[in-house]
Amino acid sequence: MQNLAFWSVWGAALFFGAIGCSSSDKPVSDLNDTPAGAGGADANENAGAGGATAAGGAAGGGAAGDGATAAATDDAEYPIPDKLVALTFDDGPDITLTPAILGKLQFYRVPASFFLIGQKVNADTQPVMQRAASLGCEFENHSYGYPSLTGLAQAEIETSVNDTSAAIEQFTSTTPVFFRPPNLAVDALMYQLIDMPFAGGVVGGDFPAEFGGNPTVEAVTDTVLNGVVDGSIILLHDVQPDLDPQPTPTALDTIIPELKRQGYEFVTLRQLFQRRGIDPNGQQDAIWNVVPPAN
The string of pLDDT tens digits covering residues 103-130 is 999 999 999 999 999 999 999 999 999 9
Query: Does pLDDT of 198 surpass 70?
Result: yes
Q: What is the model's pLDDT at position 257?
A: 98
What confidence score (pLDDT) does residue 74 get?
72
Q: Which of 60-69, 222-231, 258-267 has the lowest mean pLDDT?
A: 60-69
> Looking at residue 216, what is its pLDDT?
97
Q: Kindly tell me if the per-residue pLDDT of 34 is higher than 60.
A: no
Q: Is the pTM of this model over 0.85?
A: no
pLDDT score, position 217: 98
Q: Which of 61-70, 176-185, 236-245, 274-283 has the lowest mean pLDDT?
A: 61-70
In the prediction, which pLDDT does 192 show? 97
Residue 248 has pLDDT above 70, yes or no: yes
Q: How far apart are CA 184 and CA 281, in angstroms?
A: 18
Closest CA to 102 of 143, 159, 39, 57: 57
| pLDDT at 223 exceeding the cut of 70 | yes
Residue predicted with more confidence, 260 or 77: 260
- Residue 218's region, left for phi above 0, alpha for psi from -120 to 50, else beta, is alpha
pLDDT of residue 66: 60
Confidence band, pLDDT 50/70/90 cuts, at residue 33: very low
pLDDT: which is higher, 25 or 178: 178
